[in-house]
Amino acid sequence: MAKAKHKDPFWTSYSDLMTSLFFVMLVLFIICLIKVGHDKEVIETQYRETKASNEQLKQILQLEEQFKVLGQSTSLGYDKDKKMFYAKDFVGIEIFYSDQDKIKEKYLETVDKVGNDLMEILKALSNDNFHYQLVIEGNAAIKWDQLKHNTFDPDNTEMYHLSYRRALALYNRWRAKGHDFRKYNTEIIIAGSGFNGNNRDQKVEENNKRFIIQIIPKINRPEIKDSIK
């Protein structure tokens, strides 16, 4: 009878150890693949978002140039520092009756022209990349004696209400003339700043007898593709 073969316990243990190490390395290799794949996806996403942000910046710069051009060719002037439109013919002029929100008859024709030009501006700006907020903001000038003696209330509630009603009166006039600003992807906001507001003329108080038009673009975020172009 042949002698029974005995396995060397060293080689048995060594074989078990190498098998365990193989599985450990296999698990680590899989983890590394997952990690690399995730990092690659993060990098690609960041690249696509950066590319989209650059595209948005280009659109904003182009829009700024359009604002300047349109401000030169219409009854609305464009203040590039404050990024707002204003009626050129009405600066320093009280187009409303004193302490009322009724427009003086002699200014109605010019008000209508401003409404027409505003429609043309929104039409010219209209594209698939932007929606707009159209802010019609009323202001009020402080009377000279109050300004001189600093006796005015900057938060005069009546002036807030009056300037708001005047802005609303302008919008209602334009709407009565058939101007539907909303058809150019535009949201309408009526505002009254009274004696306040960042858009006030700090040098010539009489120039605050005006209304201000702000066209605020709301960017439609460019579609981010699944792969880098």
Tens digits of residue pLDDT in 197-225: 777 777 777 777 777 888 887 765 545 44
Distances (CA, A) of 191 to 117, 139, 164, 171, 177: 20, 9, 5, 11, 21
Tens digits of residue pLDDT in 1-16: 444 455 566 556 656 6
Pair of tokens at residue 163:
């300037």
Tens digits of residue pLDDT in 163-200: 899 999 999 999 999 999 998 889 999 998 888 877 77
The answer to whether residues 62 and 188 touch, using CB atoms and an 8 Å cutoff, is no
Pair of tokens at residue 5:
């073969």
Instruction: Reply yes or no on domain 50-219 having CATH 3.40.50.2300.
Output: no
Tell me the pTM: 0.65
Confidence at residue 1, expressed as pLDDT on a 0 to 100 scale: 45
Q: Where along the chain do its domains lie?
A: 50-219
What are the DSSP calls for 52-85, one per residue? Answer: HHHHHHHHHHHHHHHHHHHHHHSSEEEETTTTEE
In this prediction, residues 14-39 reach a mean pLDDT of: 69
